[in-house]
């Protein structure tokens, strides 16, 4: 009889240990992730001198939509320094290079965009955004923020300028 009690107590202790382990989440802690780039969504809220021209809007869309941006010159931190971007494959617009400035909670970015096969030339984009929301988008999957852009470019020597908003969200996530 004593032997049966010892076996039952042993089984009970093993079950209790299994429940305790399951209750604390198992074995490995969750892995933190960070976005290595920011992915641009469609443009909206067009304005500015040429914002009502459908052809000029189409060029801006081709430049910006699905472009990936890097606003983190210091690892995974949105900070002042070099900023870069890459155009959607086949868009006619290649890499962008420039700078990002972060001060007092606000961010500004300026880039020159290289045309590859497109007719627009001398392309610059400059934008403003809230830096804390940009950092949240780098740190947290599903987070996003808005950049208010000004696009300037020439087609056949004629200058065009328009403004538009674009939502950026984290992409290319890596474990840290």
96 falls in which pLDDT band (50, 70, 90)? Answer: very high
- What element of type H or E holds 168? strand 158-175
- Is pTM beyond 0.85? Reply is no
Instruction: Break the chain into its structural domains and give their ranges.
Output: 33-175
- Is 31 within 8 Å of 175 (Cβ atoms)? yes
Give the whole-angstrom CA distance, residue 126 versus residue 149: 6
pLDDT 10s digits, 132-167: 999 999 999 999 999 999 999 999 999 999 999 999
């Amino acid at each position: 009889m004593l032997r049966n009690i010892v076996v039952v107590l042993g089984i009970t202790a093993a079950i209790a240990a299994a429940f305790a382990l399951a209750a604390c989440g198992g074995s490995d802690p969750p892995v933190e992730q960070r976005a290595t780039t920011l992915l641009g969504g469609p443009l909206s809220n067009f304005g500015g001198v040429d914002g009502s021209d459908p052809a000029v809007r189409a060029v801006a869309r081709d430049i910006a939509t699905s472009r990936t941006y890097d606003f983190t010159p210091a690892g995974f931190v949105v900070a002042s320094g070099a900023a870069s971007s890459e155009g959607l494959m086949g868009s006619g617009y290649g890499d962008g290079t420039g700078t990002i400035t972060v001060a007092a909670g606000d961010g500004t970015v300026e880039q020159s965009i290289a045309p590859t096969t497109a007719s627009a030339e001398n392309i610059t984009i400059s934008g403003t955004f809230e830096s804390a929301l940009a950092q949240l988008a780098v740190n947290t999957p599903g987070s996003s923020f808005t950049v208010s852009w000004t696009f300037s470019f020439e087609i056949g020597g004629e200058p065009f300028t328009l403004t538009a908003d674009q939502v950026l969200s984290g992409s290319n996530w890596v474990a840290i």
